[in-house]
Amino acid sequence: MTISVGDTLPDADLIRIGSDGPEAVSVKSLTDGRKTVIFAVPGAFTPTCHSAHVPSFMRVFDQLKEKGVEDVICVSVNDPFVMAAWGDSTGAARAGIHMLSDAQSAFTQAIGMDFDAPPAGLIRRSKRYAMLVNDGVVRLLNVEENPGECEISAGETLLSQL
């Protein structure tokens, strides 16, 4: 079942690189009592993700904060080391975006956002989406029909809806 506006996010662990290496962080701890933006990409360093999606959230990061968003989180079905390197190379980590790994695709599958694109080497990856979550409940959800597009899931689009 695909997650919808009004649904509560399932609790799953995502992985980040902490001071001692990889560490799990629960979706619940990231969203309970908080206004959070979560956006997901099919893969770190892939063309649209790298040149359009992450930069769109970097451009509107401060404006999202002004609208009361406490955290902006990027999720991808990549390992946490790749996500950390990607956050460094794009400047997203310095901008304040949390680059989190859903290495086993558990969160992505739990919310029904998984897809496969074998010709591109993408298996059990995440659809491209952006959501506003308030206290663990999805308040806005923008899902791209085509994983190579970044229009309705872009940072500017989500900002315009707040």
Q: Which residues are catalytic?
A: 49
CA distance linking residue 32 with residue 76, whole number of Å: 21
Q: Residue 35: beta bridge partners?
A: 134
Helices (H), 7-124: 27-31, 47-48, 54-66, 80-90, 92-95, 106-110
Indicate the residue type of 151. Answer: E
**Considering Cα of 124, then 130, then 132, then 138, what sign does the dihedral take?**
negative
Q: Tell me which residue of 4, 15, 1, 9 sits closest to 28, measured CA to CA.
A: 9
CA distance linking residue 69 with residue 87, whole number of Å: 20
* Distant-in-sequence, close-in-space partners of 13: CB < 8 Å, separation ≥ 6: 24, 25, 26, 27, 106, 107
